[in-house]
Chain A
């Protein structure tokens, strides 16, 4: 089936004229029609637009004038503004927002010939680790536990993107990661996801959550596919003041480098209370695979790891409370009327934001308020500096770090909902990369006893995604992960 091909295979097949871009896109649209009612991975399917883009791609392929992604059908996380195509950020407050412009990342993908199948579901404003906070309903993971049909979460916040790629109703997808929102759903869904270095992808036109942490990246079926997508998404953009003015390396070539002679750090703090023994075992197995391919593993310490989450839950809500001030019911987005302007604001935001978003805006408002700023926000910024220093010190000794991506496999919808902190703890291993800005990739490495995917995380030096890809590809080769979810195109 066409939907079985990896992105690299589909690209080669298109260039070899073995099938057309329209055939490939139609195969995906048919798979979406069949499976999206069960998965809710897409909140909007843009079939007509996709077919028009595919026809343009076929014309380009016929002329031999193809780009890096000509004819490749992708899902776009609904946090990326797409010109004239509804963009909701998973929120009621943006339920009829039509962006008048295209985000830089999606514009880069279109420049390279990609086809957009639709907009992917997500936690509201990217605040969540389960996709349960979406105003458009939860995404169901295409995976289930052996002998148990309960619907599982795909992770979050990029849950729609990850579920779509895993179920083969998208060949790849854009995603964003503020505290783990690319890597955790990739791990839960048995696919690859990379959060590149802060500054590698432009944030322009991505609905802002926490601006000093937000980074865009791809989710894809293989490490090479992720490398191809990132190569297209990344690049300098004058419209983002924190965009890095650096050449985009050939990430796909880096996947073939191998790990001979690399020093891989193993941080002893990446173990959490109650972490299943099979995750520890898979981690040790991964390190063994790297040693067998010529790498050396070194025990290291990142002493402030355990404070990453608490620091995150000051910094991210503070930035969110500021960023989300723009949703006032006046300039764009939904409005709920009131007797006066103040009441209009208060009603609009009470009705338009879901419970988790309201909680975080309130926490952020509190930690920034007069009298509490030093105790919370300034303190968190100082701890953040110590978290960065941990990584800087360790990267003086090693080339990359390997850890588990998450402290557990996917959980069922409705689990971990009793109190907010239980959900937050999911991101304990992913948050430090956002606090420090370093790149991190999750690669599927095995299954747990219940048949659910587990990922390993590879962390690298700032702007050294190439080593991250090299190490991840080595893990991928050794793991030979071929397990597929029960719900998938052609399944």
Chain B
């Protein structure tokens, strides 16, 4: 299956990455070439196979549901491109 420009635009929107029209054809070619190559997995019979979701076969641990960190607003905000007091600054979102 092959991605059309509208689908590439939709994926880019979902990924929140601006794609200019001049980049569109080259990008679409690359994505289609990768997806076409991935289609070799159609050869593999996975009937009855349970998906492997993680990198470890160990059971995940539980921990106590307690606060272990916090009160470090300065450290959290130190790398913010824009801030207003103890808040991150963004363009106005409510009219």
Residues on A lying within 8 angstroms of B by beta carbon are 96-98, 100-101, 198-199, 211-213, 215, 238, 241-242, 244-245, 304, 307, 310-311, 313-314, 321, 325, 328-335, 337-347, 349-350, 353, 358-359, 361-363, 365-366, 369, 376, 378-386, 388, 419-421, 434, 437, 462
11 pairs, A vs B, C-beta closer than 8 Å: A199-B55, A244-B58, A304-B44, A307-B44, A325-B16, A343-B18, A350-B20, A361-B17, A376-B38, A382-B51, A383-B46
Q: B46–A386 contact, CB under 8 A?
A: yes
Interface centre among B7, B31, B51 (most CB of A within 10 A): B51
Task: Say whether B11 contacts A369, CB under 8 Å.
Answer: yes
A362 to B31, CA, bound (A): 8
Interface status of B93 (Cβ within 8 A of chain A): yes
Residues in chain B near residue A304, CB distance under 8 A: 44
| Contact (Cβ within 8 A) A385 B52 | yes
The CA of A325 and the CA of B53, in the complex, are separated in Å by 20
A353 to B15, CA, bound (A): 12
B82 within 8 A of A: yes
With A310-B38, A380-B41, A385-B49: A365-B55 Cβ-Cβ less than 8 Å: no
Q: Which residues of A contact B37 (CB under 8 A)?
A: 310, 313, 421
Inside 8 A of B79's CB, which chain A residues have their CB?
Answer: 96-98, 100, 331-333
Q: Which residues of A contact B54 (CB under 8 A)?
A: 212, 242
Is the Cβ of B34 less than 8 Å from the Cβ of A311?
A: no
> A385 touching B33 by the CB < 8 A rule?
no
From DSSP, what is the main secondary structure of chain B's interface residues? loop
Best-surrounded residue of B16, B44, B51 (most CB of chain A within 10 A): B16
Q: Is B60 an interface residue (CB 8 A)?
A: yes
B25 at the interface (CB under 8 A from A): no
* Minimum Cβ distance to chain B for residue A335 (Å): 4
Q: Given A330-B82, A359-B34, A385-B50, 12 more contacts at CB 8 Å?
A: A98-B79, A100-B78, A198-B55, A314-B38, A334-B81, A341-B91, A345-B16, A350-B17, A350-B18, A350-B20, A383-B41, A385-B52
Q: Cβ of B80 and Cβ of A307 under 8 Å apart?
A: no
User: Contacts A363-B31, A462-B57 hold; do A330 and B78 have CB atoms under 8 A apart?
Assistant: no
| C-alpha gap A213/B52 in the complex (Å) | 12
A332 to B58 CA separation, bound complex (whole angstroms): 33
Q: How far is the CB of A426 from chain B (nearest CB, A)?
A: 14
Within 8 A of A (CB), among B6-61: 7-8, 11-12, 14-20, 27, 30-31, 33-35, 37-38, 40-41, 43-44, 46, 49-58, 60-61
- A321 and B14 alpha carbons, distance in the complex (Å): 10
Cβ contact within 8 Å between B38 and A339: no
Contacts of B82 in A (CB 8 A): 330, 335
Do A437 and B80 touch (CB < 8 A)? no
Contact A359 B27 (CB under 8 A): yes
Q: How far is the CA of A345 from the CA of B14 in the complex (A)?
A: 11
**Are A382 and B16 CB-contacts (below 8 A) given A359-B30, A419-B33?**
no
Point out the residue from B19, B40, B56 that lies within 8 Å of A199, measured CB to CB.
B56
Q: Is the CB of B17 within 8 A of A385?
A: no
Given A307-B44, A330-B80, A420-B34, CB of A212 within 8 Å of CB of B90: no
**Known contacts A328-B16, A330-B80, A381-B52; A242/B31 CB under 8 A:** no
Q: Give complex CA distance A199, B37 in Å.
A: 31
A421 touches B60 (CB 8 A): no
B11 — which chain A residues lie within 8 A by C-beta?
A: 362, 365-366, 369
**Quick one: given A338-B91, A384-B52, are A331 and B80 in contact (CB under 8 Å)?**
yes
Decide yes or no whether B67 CB sits under 8 A from chain A: no
Q: Is B66 interfacial (CB-CB < 8 Å)? A: no
A208 to B7, CA, bound (A): 27
Q: Is the CB of B56 within 8 A of A379?
A: no
Chain B residues with CB below 8 A from A365, complex form: 11, 14-15
A343 to B18, CA, bound (A): 8
Residue from B8, B14, B27, B80 within 8 A of A332 (CB atoms): B80
Residue ID in chain B nearest A97 by CB atoms = B79
Closest to A212 in B: B55
Known: A335-B81, A350-B18. Is A313-B88 also a contact (CB below 8 A)? Answer: no
Shortest Cβ-Cβ A-B pairs, 9 listed: A381-B51, A332-B79, A335-B81, A198-B55, A382-B46, A350-B18, A385-B52, A100-B75, A346-B18
